[in-house]
Structure 1
């Protein structure tokens, strides 16, 4: 029996990118041999045609499920809702905007197969962001890491793989204001 991978994709006003995003994510998951997969989209109160596109994708593809919020509750809660509904042996979190290439999922899965409980996708470049945004993110996470007692992976966004046991521990911590990047290092699992 194949292991199940759950791809969790929080979305907010992503109508335009969804067709290309789904195509690349689906292709990346299909390229993995020996695994079944599910894709869980979490619509975080989008106001454009995102939900209509998600319904169409889910209607055509049995591996796709959609959760929809009544309003925008924020990225971290959207990720949490996806985790709450995931059935996989490992959970992969990726944003729909393709800032992180889905083709790298195979590398995260390989790290997991080799014993990592958490595998981080590291951003080599940040496309579509202003110089100011890049600079502030660069400085903020390095400063935060310097003063934190627990490691926060540098140059990684939300794109990561979590073993089911890590996700289960994370889900027991029901803080309202979550910070997945910080909590991942704090839990102490092998990365």
Structure 2
């Protein structure tokens, strides 16, 4: 069995050597062959230099070097597109997901004949309350909106077999929400529970802005319910407008002088209806923007250099 380990990297010079050592220690104790596939996502520090050195010293290390920063999901996609293994592990380079858990994942896959073993975080160390709360409720909200059931408290850390890899490589959409796509595929998927560690070194590469964009991809690529909510809001607005019109008409008939006042109500209604319209336009804009990205048909990433391929 050949196991591919897909490791996206962005400005990880402080941790990449330790990642290589930890992965090597774990995998060398297993009865299998392996390759370490590092994807340098346009790092601005010495990450690529370190990876080049590791690749020159160890033929198991393979490196894809992007021409610029394309993003975490594009880096993972490139790893899946280029891996040679019978199975592949997706793991970040920051060591928050312990490499030692790979042993448990392989055992679960073998014992339960699973196609996917996804990591479920029992505890998340070193993360602030805002990140913990938003992550917790985002996955639950996504499940409410989507027609596909997603496991909660998970990330991209998972073990996938060749069937999943081949199926993924046939998907042509550009803005990928990988954990969602793998759940959407079906097959047999089972959890592996573990405790997520603090970052070994460096700083998070997912600030609030990136988290928000990532969340929007997850929502708008896997659900049409925002459109349904916008439509429902439109109906509610029309109903309120009709009711208010009837009230105004009846008041005009009964007491014509009473309609001189009411500027506050008028302003409130204008703001309400304007807000609903802008919300609806925004939702439509997100879907149209996604269609625009797909229609351009640009590559998801550009590889500048390959090492040990």
Over 4 Å off, 4+ runs: none
- Which residue of structure 2 aligns with residue 108 of structure 1? 105
Secondary structure of the corresponding residue to residue 129 of structure 1: coil
- Which residue of structure 1 aligns with residue 173 of structure 2? 175
Judge which range, 119-128 or 39-48, deviates more. 119-128
State how many pairs are aligned. 188
Higher helix share: 2
Q: What TM-score results when the alignment is normalised by the length of structure 1?
A: 0.95
Matched, 1:93 2:97: no
CA RMSD across the alignment: 1.0
Question: Which of 1 and 2 has greater Rg?
Answer: 2
Matched, 1:14 2:5: no
Can you list the C-alpha shifts for 1:45-74, whole angstroms capped at 9, x where unaligned? 111111011111111111000001011111
Can you list the C-alpha shifts for 1:71-97, whole angstroms capped at 9, x where unaligned? 111111101111111110001100000
C-alpha distance in structure 2 between counterparts of 1:135 and 1:32, whole Å = 37
Q: 1:138·1:155 contact (CA, 8 Å) conserved in 2?
A: yes
Can you list the C-alpha shifts for 1:114-156, whole angstroms capped at 9, x where unaligned? 2000001122222332211111111111111222221212111
Secondary structure of the corresponding residue to residue 67 of structure 1: strand
C-alpha distance in structure 2 between counterparts of 1:122 and 1:101, whole Å = 12
Q: 1:12·1:43 contact (CA, 8 Å) conserved in 2?
A: yes
**Structure 2: gaps spanning 5 or more residues:** 190-309
Match of 1:61 among 55, 58, 61: 58
Please give the residue correspondences for 1:1-191 in structure 2 after superposition, counting only pairs within 5 Å: 3-33=1-31, 35-114=32-111, 115-191=113-189
**Structure 1: gaps spanning 5 or more residues:** none
Judge which range, 55-64 or 94-103, deviates more. 55-64
